[in-house]
Amino acid sequence: MERQYLLGNEAIAHACLESGIGFVSGYPGTPSSEVVDVLRTVKDPGYHVEWSVNEKVALENALAAAWSGLRAICTMKHVGLNVAADPLMTSAYTGVTGGFVILSADDPFAHSSQNEQDTRCYAHFARLPCLDPAGVQEAHDMIPAAFAISEEFSLPVIFRPTTRICHSKGDVTLGKAVPNTRKGEFHKDPRQYVVIPAHTRILHKKLNEKQPALKKRLVELGFNHATVAGKTAVIASGIGASYVQELLPKGVSFMKIGAYPIDEGWLGEFARKHEKILVIEELAPVVEEAVRQVAGCVPVFGKINGYAPYEGELNPAIVAAVMVKAGFLKENPFATRDAVQNLPPRPPILCAGCHHRAAFYAMKKVFGELAIYPSDIGCYTLGLQLGAVDTTICMGASITVGSGLAHSDATRDVVCTIGDSTFLHTGVQGLMNAVYNGANMTVVILDNRITAMTGHQPNPNTGLTAAGVETPPVSLDALCRACGATFVETIDPYDMTGMLNVLEAAKAKPGVKVIIAKQMCVIVARRTGVKRGRYVVNPEICIGCGTCVRFGCPAIEFADKMARINDLCSGCAVCARLCPTGAIAKEGRK
Amino acid sequence: MTKSFDILIVGIGGQGTILASNILGEACLREGRHVKGAETHGMAQRGGSVETHIRIDGEFGPLIVPGTADLLVSFDLLEALRYSHYLREGGKMVVNRHMVLPTSVFTQKIPAPKEEEIAAQLSRFAPCIIDADQIAVEAGSALAQNVVILGAASWSIPLKAESLLEAVKKLVPPKTVAVNTKAFELGRAAGTAP
């Protein structure tokens, strides 16, 4: 038994190794990404590991491995589960033979997400068991149990950590890694794996028949447990349970829900012992609705009657406030403190030297303020601060939203941006559709050959697999041409003149024009030792016009009515090309 | 409520808050203490404002509530002010004098407070403000600023300085152990003993 100070995701990854994992897949998404990132760096792993092109692909691959008797995990974030929802719903019918864990990490407060949906609702929808850890150690300990439950009930098990589990740390007691000793073997059984209506009607009945035993087992396993201590009770789930335990006064009963579905009989028996119940959970009122169904006349406090918030992330202060409001705590132990107002914000921005900034600059220069700029999910969403992102919905939606706009508002230019990973995720279908249906638009693929936002995971455009094996990269140019686009140009966005020219050419032509703005991610460049040298401003030539500062690069500052370049400079030279007086040059050159 | 010692480390993405958190966690393990923490990942790493919560002897959740932190460690002067409401009455503050102006100051023309103004606003916390960049350069690398500040803060952390230094040696890249050891020691010398 070893103790380490680990990130929740690292602890989860280690628990997979302790479970004899045989297959790993996923699509990166904050806060889930580090699970596969840890598992892909294990030497001689004894399992297949891949970053898949999207979550549906990841789930289907892992499902097949679990059908073959291996223990498989696939990881994603909550919005990724929407992409994988199609196979998810049917995988509950087919079931599995090897243990199958679907990790879908939720992000209350949308720290880095486009919405705040609750994975537990999908578990309920699909009638699949769902484990909901309350801390890092529990997240670790639940993983072997999740594989065991999956094998006991022949069902995929959903594992739902939240940002505060994935990205929190703790001293974790680890078990021993167990190598995968199973050999995958698929046994044909069309009645199980071919979901034609005649089979599926039977499979659906079987899925429903599994539910009562499953509910009982989750109580037996101790994931759902309760201590009766008085006439009032707090029922909590996930990280909220940790906050409640820190605040809980003596003489108040406590129930912790760590797994779904909840056994109604057991829950009802607990509820009836109390005169008043408070439910604390993040996002959707999943536990609360179950409690209300069995509580009878016992008053229940929670989201539904306005005592707790539906949106955002819980913290001990919010939980204390809810407990006070509902009469479970005399006073809030936390004084309200206001942050200092009117400080200049420091939101995340595109890195100094990021070529996306140059691409956005060129786009705006050529197409102007009137054009519409749909964008997508990735680092380049930060182009919002450069005024070059008008819409963002979900992965792959830049091209589809763009073509929709182009067909609807024909008087304006539509220029959409999408990253290479996102294009391969679900952008290709949109491009195919836009070309086939005759849209007029420009698609700029911001190609840095890596999935940068989530921590530089490789994708089929990188030329390396998750395990670091070289592999032929996809040709984005050929792929776009295969989708029917005839105007496909690849350009280095650091070459400002070339970029402006190709955008002008695109603007002049009808149809779908694709520009692949290709350059290495600056973080990858720095890590691989690329040194371009730094740029400096010559104070004798600088007229303080501010052109370079408006470019928005964090390496350029303005002091004493003059520009200055700081230590962040990565030597991309774009500012030198923009400067109207030629005051910016490579350090050491005149 | 159990009492943990709560430290908030703040700064700008890329300044080494996660390494600092790992050093504290490793030092806790060496002393057999429980520790919980929460950190900023993803978007905030792109030069954004970052915060890392660490609760030494923490048993429950990883989050520190505003007004309850025992120690605020900041790698940037402006960020110290942004998160100063996290500190409890009588809490300690260790801050790098160095300040990076947010790009919003230039692109949106938002006025930025001057160094003296920030120092004046922070003065009620009696902060220990140190020139970490200068000390780090003296130690051998400007990149060691986070370890300098950790050294300066070590007086206020309820862990042995030796445990912290051993954790530094274990977690920094092997080539930089000597530089970081010196950075920690110079930082500790620059800090204020209680």
Are A105 and A77 within 8 A, CB to CB? Answer: yes
Residue type, A148: A
Rounded average pLDDT over A129-148: 98
Provide the 10 A C-beta neighbour count for residue A93.
21
Residue A579 to residue A529: CA distance in whole angstroms: 27
Q: Out of B2, B41, B104, whose CB is closest to A344? A: B104
The 8-class DSSP code of residue A304 comes to: T
Per the structure block, which two tokens stand in for A363? 């786009």
* pLDDT score, position A589: 64
Out of A483-487, A555-559, B4-8, pick the least confident: A555-559
Is residue B15 helix, strand or coil? coil
Cα within 13 Å of Cα(A410), Cβ side: 5
When pLDDT is cut at 50, 70 and 90, the band that residue A80 belongs to is very high
Q: Out of B21, B43, B81, whose CB is closest to A112? A: B43
Is residue A550 helix, strand or coil? helix
* pLDDT score, position B44: 62
Closest CA to A239 of A220, A253, A258: A258
> Per-residue pLDDT tens for A441-475?
999 999 999 999 999 999 999 999 999 999 999 99
CB contact under 8 A, A170 and B36: yes
pLDDT more than 70, % of chain A: 100
CB contact under 8 A, A171 and B33: yes
* pLDDT score, position A590: 54
CB contact under 8 A, A454 and B59: no
* pLDDT score, position A588: 83
Residue B194 to residue B192: CA distance in whole angstroms: 6
Element (H, E) at B152: helix B145-153
CB contact under 8 A, A169 and B103: no
pLDDT at residue A48 tops 80: yes
* pLDDT score, position A365: 96
Mean pLDDT, chain A, as a whole number?
96
Residue A76 to residue A87: CA distance in whole angstroms: 14
Pick the residue of B23, B46, B54 with the most A CBs within 10 A to test the interface with A by mutation. Answer: B46
B161 touches chain A (CB under 8 A): no
Per the structure block, which two tokens stand in for A90? 């049917």
> Per-residue pLDDT tens for A143-156?
999 999 999 999 99
Provide the 10 A C-beta neighbour count for residue A220.
10
B140 touches chain A (CB under 8 A): no
Are A368 and A387 within 8 A, CB to CB? Answer: no
Rounded average pLDDT over A54-65: 98
For chains A and B, CB pairs below 8 A equal 166
* pLDDT score, position A335: 84
A269 touches chain B (CB under 8 A): no
Are A269 and A246 within 8 A, CB to CB? Answer: no
**In terms of CA atoms, which chain A residue is nearest residue B45?**
A348
When pLDDT is cut at 50, 70 and 90, the band that residue A586 belongs to is very high
Per the structure block, which two tokens stand in for A174? 């680890």
Element (H, E) at B24: helix B17-30
- A323-330 contact pairs (CB < 8 A, 24+): A323/A234, A323/A244, A323/A247, A323/A278, A326/A278, A326/A301, A327/A276, A328/A232, A328/A234, A328/A249, A328/A252, A328/A278, A328/A301, A329/A247, A329/A249, A330/A249
Question: What residues of chain A lie within 8 A of the CB of B115, using their CB?
Answer: none
A527 touches chain B (CB under 8 A): no
Rounded average pLDDT over A419-436: 98
pTM for this one?
A: 0.96
Question: What residues of chain B lie within 8 A of the CB of A345, using their CB?
Answer: 49, 102, 104, 110
Distance from A7 to chain B by nearest Cα, in Å?
9
CB contact under 8 A, B13 and A348: yes
Closest CA to A285 of A313, A266, A304, A298: A304
When pLDDT is cut at 50, 70 and 90, the band that residue A104 belongs to is very high
> Per-residue pLDDT tens for B51-60?
999 999 999 9
Cα within 13 Å of Cα(A519), Cβ side: 21
> Per-residue pLDDT tens for A186-230?
999 999 999 999 999 999 999 999 999 999 999 999 999 999 999
Rounded average pLDDT over A286-304: 97
Closest CA to B10 of B160, B158, B146: B146
Are A131 and A259 within 8 A, CB to CB? Answer: yes
pLDDT at residue B194 tops 80: no
**3-state secondary structure string across A128-179:** CCEECCCCHHHHHHHHHHHHHHHHHHCCCEEECCEHHHHCEEEEEEECCCCC
Q: Out of A136, A167, A349, whose CB is closest to B47? A: A349
Rounded average pLDDT over B149-164: 98
* pLDDT score, position A198: 98
A317 touches chain B (CB under 8 A): yes
**In terms of CA atoms, which chain B residue is nearest residue A345?**
B104
Closest CA to B36 of A166, A315, A170, A162: A170
- Interface pTM (ipTM) of the complex? 0.95
A547 touches chain B (CB under 8 A): no
B111 touches chain A (CB under 8 A): yes
pLDDT at residue B42 tops 80: no
Distance from A182 to chain B by nearest Cα, in Å?
35
**In terms of CA atoms, which chain B residue is nearest residue A332?**
B65
Per the structure block, which two tokens stand in for B74? 């900041």
CB contact under 8 A, B61 and A347: no
Residue A140 to residue A16: CA distance in whole angstroms: 9
> Per-residue pLDDT tens for B98-153?
999 898 888 888 888 999 999 999 999 999 999 999 999 999 999 999 999 999 99
